[in-house]
């Protein structure tokens, strides 16, 4: 007789395969799909989610989970983690009526269009009724999912298992306090003269350079690709198929390079997940906050380091000969500039988390019932000016800049800061625990760093909850300390090791 | 209450959507998939076929079809065609045990690998046991599907509804008799000196030129793409998403151009199918023989005509200035050369059908029980020499050259010749029925030709069986006459209108 646990494994493998197929359709939509193909693609995507949802919420699945739980051996951490995640997912999936799921899916389509138009016009009022609707539907989701402390927690949990608004608030509050003086000092430094990098950067040469860098730091092109898309992203759509995208600016090679470094970080995590667990919850990446730690590690800790540019400037000159007169110190200065700017996605390493904190506080206020939708622009502008000392001139550069809310995604933003915190915490732990990692890092050899991440993070999949995983890997729970110290070193020249 | 017919329509729409998703996965496999992603992709493809097969062979579907048939109104050609095709497909799908379907799928994987190796070694004996197995399994399929005259008919029917070996044999026999003197004369003409076209053809310029041509003859790039792949093909994977591939040779722009013209022909047919019928049998392309007629129309009748090169040589010179000294007559001569060559896919318009006839006769003999697998090479070589007057030097340039048999595809080859016959028959009918088509054709304006094909072929979907469709469109059933007369005109200079 087939055990309930074996049945769950088989179902999981099948649904993973179906979800992976949908992931290819989603990737294609961003990268290749002809314009008139969009409506039909939406129908296809909706079929896939419906199919997987229906299969998973079957009563028999609930019975299998209960049976698997009761049959758990005392020393089987994999089965234990699988049961933990199946139970959690089943509980969250079954308490949503299909009607509600469909209503949200439909509202999102209209909302995204309204947001794009509102941003174009820089007029929040055009988007407000849609946002109202999405907040209301998300609130209903959260109520059904349930929470212990506050409703917003149920939304955060979708992206970061076990995280709560209270704990995030404490961490981000600490971060803010330590960060403000660094921001102050960093943004007061005279800016590097970027005109020294001026020149033509043909796309084909950028591609060749990026590929050389990505390959060198460990991205497996036999099991992955880099393509072009308006929004850079990474999709780990199959055990041996991880795809990144970036975009090209023919006047600035750093834009596509840092896009690639960021996405390669995500891609290395995807390529490092345990293949034999694929289709089991334990085989999944553990959370967005950990995923983002890997992208930030390669983008910021590696890509913006002195050693990186000592190693890679000569290759950059090979592809772009007009850079020949520059030194690694020039590039280091060019890629480490802080600025009090309005747009999150263009923000530097120092100010980035202030942008996140702002969004986190606004979301807390919305779901705490302390902020009406109509009051969002004023509140956004007030807080922005208090953080950055710069006024917001219009909604497009203010509360309309991000796509997330228009997609009904709330509770996602804080995972960006968790990523920054985790990246600094883990990078320091890797270098401290293993001096070979630190030594190789200085020489721009990142194989030991990757090996450390593979061993402590990637190969663990979702065996532990995100916070536990990071604490086990680093030896201590994450805090603001490592990130702040990293930024002080880099921006206040308090040391020259990063 | 929902009628059985409405249930079938809903099921068909859903399964079409699932099949269309699988089509994207299949396209991606040929165009983009990283090498190590292949094994998992095979699992995905197998899931899709299994899912669709299981849904369709359900007993309830059989009941719905019976009920829909008995409820047919007297004057409803669409419902009638749908019921005709559902019945046919259901009968063919339900008589196959899943075990047999799986056995064939597995045998194909091994067989394709063995064929690739055998072709590399030019050693048929390495492939023979696999071919034996595939022929045996195909025979079992055919026995289960059933046939009236001979077993081979059941295999042909998969690709060309209603065609039989007997009828095809008569048509292709006629064609052969008329063709041999044309081949003799055409291959005796002094060859055009192709060195006059020698030069560099950068891929990006080829792409731009091909796109300009494709767009001009009506391919909708808002609902389609052209990408690069080793094997040129066309996939109509959604109502507004038709994708072509071609390959590039930087020493010869004609190779990618004719690849594009051929696939654009397929693509125009896909883009012209009635959108509102998608998911119904009646909305499908009607057969391979008709599909191929559209690719051959644009590749041969249009692309190899004098008018085409009068119109397009100046644009070719724009992209490839070293062609500046040539005249349209040069290009016309260069693209219309006949040669007694061994490889089908490189064959010219005159000798192509002899290659097909050879394969058709061999398949007839295999499934008629008159030819043992081990004797295929000798029989192939004997027949080839009798058709072409040239000996076959090895298996790689003989019976191992095509991939089809290694995929378990038998009965497919004759549809290539049907395509050639239909193309000539339909092109002549369009020009004869509507003098505006003929007049515009001379001036390289193909909009009226496309409009005629849209109206008489594309928009009819599968309303009629393939032969009926062609006969209705052209006014007379297809015969060898139009093709032979077209080739005589073009190769024997008996007229200068084509």
Give the pLDDT score at B331.
98
Q: What is the ipTM of this complex?
A: 0.91
Give the pLDDT score at B107.
85
CB contact under 8 A, B14 and A47: yes
- Give the whole-angstrom CA distance, residue B37 versus residue A222: 8
Fold (topology level) of B124-498: 1.10.1370
Portion of chain A with pLDDT greater than 90, in percent: 89
Mean pLDDT of A52-70: 96
CB contact under 8 A, A40 and B24: no
Q: What is the torsion angle, in degrees rounded to the nearest 10, for the CA atoms of residue B119, residue B125, residue B127 and residue B130?
A: 180
Give the pLDDT score at B378.
98
H or E, element range at A245: strand A241-246
Tokens of B169: 């044999």
Fold (topology level) of A123-498: 1.10.1370
- Give the whole-angstrom CA distance, residue B89 versus residue B83: 10
CB contact under 8 A, A21 and B21: yes
CB contact under 8 A, B36 and A225: no
Predicted confidence band of residue B110 (pLDDT cuts 50, 70, 90): confident
Mean pLDDT of A327-352: 94
- Give the whole-angstrom CA distance, residue A55 versus residue A188: 57
Q: Search chain A and give the residue with CA nearest B20.
A: A44
CB contact under 8 A, B17 and A43: yes
Provide the number of CB pairs (under 8 Å) joining chain A to chain B: 89
- Asked if B36 is an interface residue toward chain A (Cβ–Cβ < 8 A), one would say yes
Using the predicted structure, report yes or no on whether residue A497 has a pLDDT greater than 50.
Answer: no
Q: Annotate A68-124 with DSSP letters as a single string.
A: HHHT--TT-HHHHHHHHHHHHHHHHHHTS-HHHHHHHHHHHHHHHHHHHHHHHHT-H
Mean pLDDT of A455-466: 97
Mean pLDDT of A262-287: 97
User: SS3 for A32?
Assistant: coil
Residues contacting residue B317 through CB under 8 Å, at least 6 positions apart: B323, B324, B326
Mean pLDDT of chain A: 94
Give the pLDDT score at A494.
62
Predicted confidence band of residue A496 (pLDDT cuts 50, 70, 90): very low
Mean pLDDT of B371-382: 98
* Catalytic member of A54, A67, A136, A263: A263
Summarize pLDDT for B2-44 with one digit per residue, the tens.
899 999 999 999 999 999 999 999 999 889 999 899 889 988 9
Mean pLDDT of B475-492: 94
H or E, element range at A414: helix A414-433
What residue spans define the domains of chain A? 4-94, 123-498
Range of weakest confidence among A27-41, A193-207, B235-249: A27-41
* Residue A256 to chain B, least CA–CA distance (Å): 21
Predicted confidence band of residue B497 (pLDDT cuts 50, 70, 90): very low
The answer to whether the beta carbons of residues A71 and A271 sit under 8 Å apart is no
* Residue B17 to chain A, least CA–CA distance (Å): 6
Summarize pLDDT for A110-168 with one digit per residue, the tens.
888 899 899 999 999 999 999 999 999 999 999 999 999 999 999 999 999 999 999 99
Task: Name the range with the highest mean pLDDT among A107-111, A438-442, B115-119.
Answer: A438-442
> Could you tell me how many helices (H) and strands (E) chain A has, helices first?
20, 3
Using the predicted structure, report yes or no on whether residue A253 has a pLDDT greater than 70.
Answer: yes
Give the pLDDT score at B494.
61
List the one residue out of B313, B319, B290 whose CA is nearest residue B417: B290
Mean pLDDT of A368-384: 97
Facing A239 at nearest CB: one of B40, B222, B224? B40
Look up tokens 């038998």; give the residue. B410
What are the b/e assignments for A255-281, b being 16+ CB within 10 Å? bbbbbbbbbbbbbbbbbbbbeebbbbb
- Asked if B10 is an interface residue toward chain A (Cβ–Cβ < 8 A), one would say no
CB contact under 8 A, B40 and A20: yes
Give the pLDDT score at B498.
41
Predicted confidence band of residue B463 (pLDDT cuts 50, 70, 90): very high
Mean pLDDT of B354-368: 97
Active site residue B263: yes
Length, in residues, of chain B: 498
Using only C-alpha atoms, chain A has a radius of gyration, in whole angstroms, of 23
Using the predicted structure, report yes or no on whether residue B204 has a pLDDT greater than 80.
Answer: yes
Summarize pLDDT for B39-87 with one digit per residue, the tens.
899 889 889 988 998 999 999 999 999 999 999 988 899 999 999 999 9
Q: Search chain B and give the residue with CA nearest A28.
A: B24
Q: Search chain A and give the residue with CA nearest B14.
A: A47
Facing A241 at nearest CB: one of B34, B224, B241? B34
Mean pLDDT of chain B: 95
Q: Search chain A and give the residue with CA nearest B41.
A: A238
Length, in residues, of chain A: 498
Using the predicted structure, report yes or no on whether residue A493 has a pLDDT greater than 90.
Answer: no
């Amino acid at each position: 007789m087939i055990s309930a646990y074996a049945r769950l494994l088989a179902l999981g493998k099948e649904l993973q395969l179906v979800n992976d197929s949908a992931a290819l359709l989603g990737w294609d939509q961003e990268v290749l799909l002809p314009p008139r193909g969009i409506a039909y693609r939406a129908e296809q995507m909706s079929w896939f989610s419906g199919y997987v949802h229906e299969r998973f919420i079957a009563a028999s699945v609930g019975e299998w989970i209960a049976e698997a739980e009761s049959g758990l051996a005392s020393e089987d951490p994999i089965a234990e983690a699988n049961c933990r995640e199946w139970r959690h997912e089943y509980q969250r999936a079954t308490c949503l009526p299909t009607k509600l799921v469909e209503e949200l899916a439909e509202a999102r389509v209209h909302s995204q269009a309204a947001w794009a138009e509102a941003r174009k016009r820089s007029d929040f009022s055009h988007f407000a009724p849609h946002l109202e609707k999405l907040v209301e539907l998300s609130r209903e989701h959260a109520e059904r999912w349930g929470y212990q402390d506050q409703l917003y927690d149920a939304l955060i949990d979708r992206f970061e298992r076990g995280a709560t608004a209270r704990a995030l608030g404490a961490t981000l509050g600490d971060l803010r306090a330590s960060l403000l003086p660094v921001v102050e000092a960093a943004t007061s430094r005279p800016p590097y003269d970027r005109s020294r990098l001026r020149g033509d950067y043909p796309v084909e040469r950028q591609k060749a350079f990026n590929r050389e860098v990505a390959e060198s730091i460990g991205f497996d092109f036999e099991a992955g690709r880099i393509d072009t898309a308006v929004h850079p992203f990474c999709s780990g759509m199959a055990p041996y198929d991880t795809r990144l995208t970036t975009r090209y600016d023919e006047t600035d090679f750093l834009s596509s390079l840092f896009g690639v470094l960021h996405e390669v970080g995500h891609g290395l995590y995807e390529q490092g997940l345990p293949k034999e667990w694929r289709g089991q919850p334990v085989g999944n990446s553990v959370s967005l906050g950990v995923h983002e730690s890997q992208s930030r590690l390669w983008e910021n800790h590696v890509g913006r380091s002195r050693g990186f540019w000592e190693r890679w400037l000569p290759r950059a000159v090979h592809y772009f000969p007009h850079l020949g007169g520059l030194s690694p110190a020039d590039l280091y200065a060019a890629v480490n500039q802080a600025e009090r700017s309005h747009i999150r996605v263009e923000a530097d390493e120092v100010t980035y988390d202030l942008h996140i904190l702002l969004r986190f506080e606004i979301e807390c206020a919305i779901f705490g019932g302390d902020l009406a939708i109509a009051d969002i622009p004023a509140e956004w502008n007030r807080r922005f000016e208090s953080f950055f000392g710069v006024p917001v001139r219009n909604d497009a550069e203010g509360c309309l800049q991000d796509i997330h809310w228009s997609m009904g995604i709330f509770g996602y933003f804080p995972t960006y800061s968790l990523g920054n915190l985790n990246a600094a915490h883990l990078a320091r732990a890797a270098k401290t625990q293993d001096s070979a990692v630190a030594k190789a890092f200085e020489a721009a050899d990142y194989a030991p760093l990757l090996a450390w991440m593979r061993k402590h993070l990637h190969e663990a999949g979702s065996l532990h909850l995100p916070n536990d995983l990071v604490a086990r890997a680093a030896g201590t729970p994450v805090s603001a300390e490592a990130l702040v110290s990293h930024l002080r070193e880099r921006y206040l020249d308090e040391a020259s090791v990063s």
